[in-house]
Chains A and B, each alone.
Chain A
Amino acid sequence: MKGLSLIVVCLLVLAVVALFSMGTGRYPVSFRDLLSWITTGQCRDENLPIILVNIRLPRLVGAIAAGGALAMSGAAYQGMFRNPMVSPDILGVSSGAGFGAALAILFSLPVAGIQAFSFVGGITAVLIAVSISKAIGRSHDSVLVLVLSGIIISSLFGALLSMLKYVADPDDKLPAITYWLMGSFANIRMSDLMVILPLLFVGSIPLMLVSWRLNVLSFGEDEARSLGVHTGWLRALVILCATLMSASIISITGIIGWVGLIVPHLARFVAGPNHRMLLPTSFLFGAIFMLLVDNVARSVVSVEIPIGIITAILGAPFFIWFLKKSSRKSW
């Protein structure tokens, strides 16, 4: 399937899944009530609007934004690094954000403080990784140096995070840090989204605009330059935008793994490798995937399962299946 029709189909599926998600949850909502509330604003159950608007809608929007942003930034990173095994946290955004959040929890900061700290932590980690690669730079393969710098920073922040957990009060701080690291949509409020959504917008628009040039980066540094692409500038822009998107999401949801790695593969399988189609398709696939996973998280057992656990449990076997399948065919 190619072009606009694919996008339209994805949007329709997303709408259906979203409607289904609004009706799913502890409090029973009949489909007819839901429809009449959406179309007319009226319904028999007067609790319904409160639940839908205050609880389910923020969660729905949060899941769509998180899945979409992580998948889209993952697709951009994979294109930039010319490597389909790369995810948005390759440059250390997750470990930096985790460290920032843990620090804020240790200082007993309010939710907004935790979000701000994790956002700053995530961005800082990536900036350090990029500076290291610049300092080493020049004579080495620049992409390889960047990836290695990311690994160095990830493990450094991972160690710092372990230290914070070690000194944290095991009765309340340590569980809070641990739960935060598992990721959840349970605490998303509309006010958080009002801050995050503009940031996602600011990150995704430039990515869409340079999507054609991102294709050319697949040929590697020298060839892309000989095709007239200013590689250094383009790479900086992609890192900046993709990091902004993933750090914003991680700051309100905690760490959700696998989505940014797997969903771009699925999208590439359907939409092809051209980033002009791949980026929006990844966003929509990610949004649909995350909504479905969140429905599982909050309705399968009586206690909500942290979202990061489900994405990993679903992600690992899927990825094995996909590797096996794709090994017969080139990417």
Chain B
Amino acid sequence: MVKQSNISLDLRHTDLGYNGRVVLRDVSLTIDTGEIVCLLGPNGVGKTTLFKTILGFIKPLAGLITINGTDISRFSPKDFARLVAYVPQLHHLPFPYTVRDVVLFGRTVHLGLFASPCKKDRDIANSFLELLDITHLADRAFSELSGGERQIVIIARALTQEARFIILDEPTSNLDYGNQVRIIRKIGELRKQSVGILMATHTPDHAFMIGSKVVVVDHGALYRCGKPETTLTPETLRQIYGVEVQVLDTPHNGICSRKICAPVMELTTDIISHH
């Protein structure tokens, strides 16, 4: 693959919301290629709104969103899809497409209006099936896969799209523990693909595992933003989730050294309603 120059996706003092109602105010944020940004925040705080706005489904109420300096509203749908890919939450497909087909759909944006994929497109799709170790699933029906397998297939599709940024909406929701870890590991490996990743999650540990940056939204605004180790303090976690959480260092045994979250179980110290 040709080494591509680094570019960035920027939000500059952006107000986000629907029908004139502001959900998130004055958001400024930068995502560079090669970086994994984890988005944390309680339910209903506007993470989905933020995603939909970055993906161009809804327009920002104020401010500017740019990729490499160009306002995203000035890209055609096709040009935009070459820059930003989207991995939505688990869903089902009405028709039994094979995994190979689903991954190939990622090539659509590189095809002529009336064309269908050629050998080169198939090779690209196959290479990402291989990268994510799901070649053995290629001929299965997507609708028959488990949740974790489906999520990986959709990530393979996003890579096949060869966009510079990938937006993942809670990629581990509804997955069992093993699959959650597997998905996070795969996403961590994507750093090498020099794509910029923005991922929403409900698990602060994910940010410690793979995040090069964490963004915390709460109370209608960007609450904090920075390195996971310095941003995700017990105070921050208490502020956004309303529960007491200790952030511990794992022992440096050479296998796993990072911070982990340990929720405190005594209810007396728990701040049940923080709003």
CB of A228 within 8 A of CB of B55, answer: no
A56 within 8 A of B: no
CB of A229 within 8 A of CB of B77, answer: yes
Instruction: Provide the A196-230 mask, 1 if CB < 8 A to any CB of B, else 0.
Output: 00000000000001111101101110110111111
B→A interface (CB under 8 Å) = 19, 52, 55-57, 77-78, 80-82, 84-86, 88, 91, 93-98, 101, 105-106, 108-109, 111, 113-117, 141, 143-144, 161
CB of A228 within 8 A of CB of B101, answer: no
CB of B88 within 8 A of CB of A222, answer: yes
Bound-state Cα–Cα, A227 to B91, Å: 16
CB of A330 within 8 A of CB of B81, answer: no
Q: Name the interface residues of A83-100: CB closer than 8 Å to any CB of B.
A: 83-84
Given contacts A83-B94, A227-B81, A268-B95, contact A209 B105 (CB under 8 A): no
A331 within 8 A of B: yes
Given contacts A226-B85, A227-B161, A330-B144, contact A216 B95 (CB under 8 A): no
CB of B77 within 8 A of CB of A219, answer: no
Q: Residue of A at shortest CB range from B18?
A: A139
A59 within 8 A of B: no
CB distance from B189 to the nearest CB of A (A): 22
Instruction: Provide the A252-277 mask, 1 if CB < 8 A to any CB of B, else 0.
Output: 00000000000000001000111010
Partner of B105, one of A79, A219, A220, A268: A219
Bound-state Cα–Cα, A274 to B141, Å: 12
CB of A216 within 8 A of CB of B86, answer: no
CB of A215 within 8 A of CB of B96, answer: no
CB of B105 within 8 A of CB of A222, answer: no
A82 within 8 A of B: yes
List of 8 A-B pairs having minimum Cβ-Cβ separation, nearest first: A228-B109, A228-B81, A273-B95, A226-B86, A209-B114, A212-B116, A330-B143, A82-B94
Q: Residue of B at shortest CB range from A211?
A: B116
Q: Residue of B at shortest CB range from A205?
A: B114
Bound-state Cα–Cα, A227 to B98, Å: 17
Residues from chain B with a CB closer than 8 A to the CB of A222 are 52, 55, 57, 86, 88
16 new A-B contacts at CB < 8 Å, known A222-B86, A228-B161: A79-B95, A82-B94, A84-B94, A139-B19, A211-B116, A213-B108, A216-B108, A222-B52, A223-B88, A225-B56, A227-B81, A228-B81, A228-B82, A230-B78, A272-B97, A331-B96
Bound-state Cα–Cα, A225 to B143, Å: 21
Residues from chain B with a CB closer than 8 A to the CB of A84 are 94-95
Q: How large is the interface on A (under 10, 10 to 19, 20 to 34, 35 or more residues)?
A: 20 to 34
CB distance from B75 to the nearest CB of A (A): 11
Bound-state Cα–Cα, A227 to B78, Å: 8
Q: Which of A210, A216, A227 has the most CB of B within 10 A?
A: A227
CB of A225 within 8 A of CB of B57, answer: yes
CB distance from A208 to the nearest CB of B (A): 9
Q: Residue of B at shortest CB range from A222?
A: B57
CB of A218 within 8 A of CB of B94, answer: yes
Q: Name the interface residues of A230-251: CB closer than 8 Å to any CB of B.
A: 230
Residues from chain A with a CB closer than 8 A to the CB of B86 are 222-223, 226
CB of A218 within 8 A of CB of B108, answer: no
Instruction: Provide the A166-188 mask, 1 if CB < 8 A to any CB of B, else 0.
Output: 00000000000000000000000
CB of B111 within 8 A of CB of A226, answer: no
CB of A330 within 8 A of CB of B96, answer: yes
Bound-state Cα–Cα, A230 to B75, Å: 13
Residues from chain B with a CB closer than 8 A to the CB of A272 are 96-98
Residues from chain A with a CB closer than 8 A to the CB of B95 are 79, 84, 218, 268, 273, 331
Residues from chain A with a CB closer than 8 A to the CB of B101 are 215, 273-274
Residues from chain B with a CB closer than 8 A to the CB of A226 are 55, 81, 84-86
Q: 28 A-B Cβ contacts within 8 A?
A: A79-B95, A83-B94, A84-B95, A211-B116, A212-B108, A212-B115, A212-B117, A215-B101, A218-B97, A219-B93, A220-B91, A222-B52, A222-B86, A225-B55, A225-B81, A226-B86, A227-B109, A227-B161, A228-B78, A228-B108, A229-B108, A230-B78, A268-B95, A272-B96, A273-B95, A273-B96, A330-B144, A331-B94
Residues from chain B with a CB closer than 8 A to the CB of A223 are 86, 88
Bound-state Cα–Cα, A273 to B97, Å: 6
CB distance from B99 to the nearest CB of A (A): 13
Bound-state Cα–Cα, A178 to B111, Å: 49
Residues from chain A with a CB closer than 8 A to the CB of B141 are 330
Bound-state Cα–Cα, A210 to B19, Å: 33
Q: Residue of A at shortest CB range from B97?
A: A273
Partner of B97, one of A220, A229, A274: A274
Given contacts A84-B95, A227-B106, contact A210 B114 (CB under 8 A): yes
Residues from chain B with a CB closer than 8 A to the CB of A225 are 55-57, 77, 81
Residues from chain B with a CB closer than 8 A to the CB of A213 are 108, 113
Residues from chain A with a CB closer than 8 A to the CB of B98 are 272
CB distance from B167 to the nearest CB of A (A): 8
Residues from chain B with a CB closer than 8 A to the CB of A276 are 116
Q: Residue of B at shortest CB range from A326?
A: B96
Bound-state Cα–Cα, A162 to B143, Å: 44
Residues from chain A with a CB closer than 8 A to the CB of B84 are 226
Residues from chain A with a CB closer than 8 A to the CB of B109 are 227-228
CB distance from A218 to the nearest CB of B (A): 6
CB of B117 within 8 A of CB of A228, answer: no
Bound-state Cα–Cα, A39 to B109, Å: 50
Bound-state Cα–Cα, A209 to B111, Å: 12
CB of B77 within 8 A of CB of A230, answer: yes
CB distance from B272 to the nearest CB of A (A): 35
Bound-state Cα–Cα, A9 to B184, Å: 47
